């Protein structure tokens, strides 16, 4: 078990992950402004994030990732989406990915579970960076 297993899940299951993310977003209180965006736009954006997770884990400050999330912040600010909703959407993407990984049954032994905790830390780092870059983009002067 290594990070490549999680990356493979994220990258090859980006579509169902994106749909689960949108379902969860719709159930979340306080996400009204975020959900005013066209469904396909939201799905495409989160799909792209899942598909790029491997790039980030290989190179944490890869400009594709940095710009993806900075642009997200800029775009959401221009759309009038409150910053807490932007941050929460990223958090939900992390939660959905990890729940999906657990449901896939990858951690079928104590050793795998221990490795899973390390992998979870790496996934959290990805989404923490996503929040940071989105906030940077959101707060930049136009």
Give the span between the Cα atoms of 94 and 75, in whole angstroms: 20
pTM of the model: 0.87
Which range marks the domain in which residue 87 is found? 3-139
Q: 40-61, pLDDT tens digit by residue?
A: 999 999 998 888 888 777 776 6
Both ends of the chain: CA-CA distance in Å? 44
| Burial annotation 63-79 (CB, 10 A radius, 16+ → b, else e) | eebbebbbebbbbbbee
Q: 129-139, pLDDT tens digit by residue?
A: 999 999 999 99
Q: 77-88, pLDDT tens digit by residue?
A: 999 999 999 999
Give the span between the Cα atoms of 97 and 81, in whole angstroms: 23
Residue 45 in tokens = 């954006």
Give me the CATH number covering residue 36: 1.10.490.10
Residue 20 in tokens = 């689960």
Give the span between the Cα atoms of 1 and 120, in whole angstroms: 12
Q: 2-48, pLDDT tens digit by residue?
A: 677 778 888 899 999 999 999 999 999 999 999 999 999 999 999 98
- Count of structural domains within the chain: 1
């Amino acid at each position: 078990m290594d990070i490549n297993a999680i990356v493979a899940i994220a990258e090859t299951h980006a579509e169902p992950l994106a749909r689960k993310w949108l379902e969860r977003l719709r159930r979340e209180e306080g996400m009204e402004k975020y959900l005013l965006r066209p469904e396909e736009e939201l799905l495409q954006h989160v799909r792209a994030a899942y598909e790029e997770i491997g790039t980030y884990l290989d190179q944490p400050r890869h400009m594709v990732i940095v710009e993806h999330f900075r642009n997200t912040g800029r775009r959401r600010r221009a759309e009038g989406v409150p910053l807490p909703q932007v941050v929460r959407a990223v958090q939900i993407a992390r939660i959905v990915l990890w729940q999906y990984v657990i449901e896939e049954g990858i951690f079928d032994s104590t050793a795998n579970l221990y490795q899973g905790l390390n992998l979870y830390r790496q996934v959290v780092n990805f989404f923490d960076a996503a929040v940071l870059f989105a906030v940077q983009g959101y707060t930049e002067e136009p």
